[in-house]
Amino acid sequence: MPLLIKNARIITATDDYHADLFAADQTISRIESGIAERECPAGTEVIDAAGRYLFPGFIDPHVHIHLPFMGTHARDTWETAGRAALVGGTTTLIEMICPGKADQPLAALETWLGKARGVAPCDFTFHMGVTRFDAAAEGQLREIAQRGIRSFKVFLAYKGALGVDDRELYHTLRLAKELGVVVTAHCENETLVAERCAELLAAGKTLPEFHEPSRPVRVEASGVAHLLAFAELTGAEVYIVHTSCDEAVAEAVRGRERGVNVHIEVVLPHLVLDRSYTHLPDFEGAKYVMSPPLREASQLPRMWSHLRSGTIATVATDHAPFDFSGQKEMGRGDFTRIPNGIPSLEDRVNLLYTHGVCAGRIDLHRFVDAASTRAARIFGLKGKGTIAVGADADLVVYDPAYRGTISAKTQHMATDYSAFEGWEIKGRPSVVTVRGAVMARDGKFVGRLGHGRLVPRSA
Ligand code: URP
Ligand code: ZN
Ligand code: ZN
């Protein structure tokens, strides 16, 4: 259905202006002042955006939905995650395909694609996880890149599970360089993690609060330095996921200064939560266990500062949703068995707006850039990440006057808890569209499951 948005204050990564916007056939066809309803075809849906912002649809470049991990499976499906994303203003997701070491990459792509296709209400694409690199995997990775999945994912952590060794890392980066594919990387030194976990457990330190000491900042910084040595020697473009601390950012910046093509991501939990949450009583601290872990509170202003300056390019979630009951609880008596991850897909945009824009830490343009535009550019998402004639009509009419609180009782994510229970949000999407179709209104999903499609990508 054609769409006319009147009286919009359009905010992009670079611009701020008032105009009306008309979209038909899934893309934006006019942005002008004073587009009259009578000029539009019969049946055009008209939305008055007076007093609200019009943002491009937000993009989360790092989510896990189908995720067999640490002896269990993440809770969301494309139905629950897609609804949550849209209600929260996110119109495109990039999911991590995380195959087991013995799995074939093409079969894994079909598995992950099969979960999304026909169900996802928002648009989507994938980072192809490389958990084994041999001749068979290489041939399939070439085919996968040719099919438009133009980014890989490697884990330098999770020894014996998802992690790659240095030979595999080297050849993955060489292949990526040849194919012009970006390699996203989880950077932690897995040997240090394994040894420290064993020492802590042997000393009887089994509670969630010992997760952070098992992988302190130097473990992550060392992982980043390691990746960047390989990126420098292969010439590959790399993207460091969920950077949690100043020390890791500093290593990335050092690499950048040497000429390495590196992008830095922060995820919402590392901007608004600190490690004191892992000390909560009654094992509630397990809700806040993720890797890299939540850090000292003193890290948060430093991460915001890197975000404000643009040193950190993007804000994702690393949405990895596990219930407290029955899943996080698997780690009672041994923190290394707590499934890692903090669900935040639904809350990213509102919390970034509340704690970033409203708190004066970032401006509206950096907000849009970090939560949408930059991910579209880095990962070649055609038509996404901006408001312009010819772009996809992925739009968020955002109400800055809204006030509300987050609760597991009202969220669309499938988990039995919210890491942000009772937190106030200042602002919320009023209307969210994906290629011109209205998918969410005022906290409710009103769209069609299966509307989402695989996003075409360029190098
Ligand atoms: O704790 C996390 N980050 N869980 C999801 C898997 C990953 O490392 O991204
Ligand atoms: Zn990770
Ligand atoms: Zn992740």
Share of the chain above pLDDT 70, in %: 100
Cβ atoms within 10 Å, residue 171? 18
SS3 392: strand
Give the tokens for residue 48: 């008055």
- For ligand 1, say whether the CB of 341 is within 6 Å of any of its atoms: yes
pLDDT (mean) for 371-399 = 98
Cα(242)–Cα(127) distance, rounded to whole angstroms? 15
The rounded mean pLDDT for the chain is 98
Q: How confident is the model at residue 160 (pLDDT cuts 50, 70, 90)?
A: confident
Mutate to test the pocket of ligand 1, among 60, 62, 63, 64 (most ligand atoms within 8 A of CB): 64
CA of 351 to the centre of ligand 3 (A): 19
SS3 6: strand
The phi, psi pair for 7, rounded to 5°, reads: 55, 40
Asked if 95 and 124 count as a contact pair (C-beta separation under 8 A), the reply is yes
Cis check for the bond before 292: say yes or no (omega within 30 of 0): yes
Q: What is the pLDDT of residue 119?
A: 98
- For ligand 1, say whether the CB of 153 is within 6 Å of any of its atoms: no
Cα(355)–Cα(346) distance, rounded to whole angstroms? 15
Q: What is the pLDDT of residues 226-274, one digit of tens each?
A: 999 999 999 999 999 999 999 999 999 999 999 999 999 999 999 999 9
Lowest mean pLDDT among 84-93, 153-162, 262-271: 153-162
Name the residues around ion ligand 3, CB cutoff 5 A: 318
Cα(148)–Cα(201) distance, rounded to whole angstroms? 44
Share of the chain above pLDDT 90, in %: 98
* Nearest alpha carbon, ligand 1 atom 8: 291
Identity of residue 79: E
User: Has this prediction a pTM greater than 0.95?
Assistant: yes
pLDDT (mean) for 296-322 = 98
SS3 9: strand
Domain residue spans in the chain? Answer: 57-378
Give the tokens for residue 398: 């955002």
Q: What is the pLDDT of residues 262-306, one digit of tens each?
A: 999 999 999 999 999 999 999 999 999 999 999 999 999 999 999
Closest Cα partner for 115 from 141, 88, 140, 97? 97
Cβ atoms within 10 Å, residue 259? 9
User: Quick one: which ligand is closest to 69's CA?
Assistant: 1
- For ligand 1, say whether the CB of 286 is within 6 Å of any of its atoms: no
Identity of residue 375: A
* Nearest alpha carbon, ligand 1 atom 9: 318
Q: What is the pLDDT of residue 256?
A: 98
SS3 131: coil
Asked if pLDDT for residue 11 goes beyond 80, the answer is yes
Ligand 1 atom having least distance to the Cα of 241: 9
Q: Give CATH superfamily name and number for 57-378.
A: Metal-dependent hydrolases (3.20.20.140)
Asked if pLDDT for residue 458 goes beyond 90, the answer is no
pLDDT (mean) for 344-357 = 99
Q: What is the pLDDT of residues 164-191, one digit of tens each?
A: 999 999 999 999 999 999 999 999 999 9
DSSP conformation class of 74: -
Q: How confident is the model at residue 459 (pLDDT cuts 50, 70, 90)?
A: confident
- For ligand 1, say whether the CB of 89 is within 6 Å of any of its atoms: no
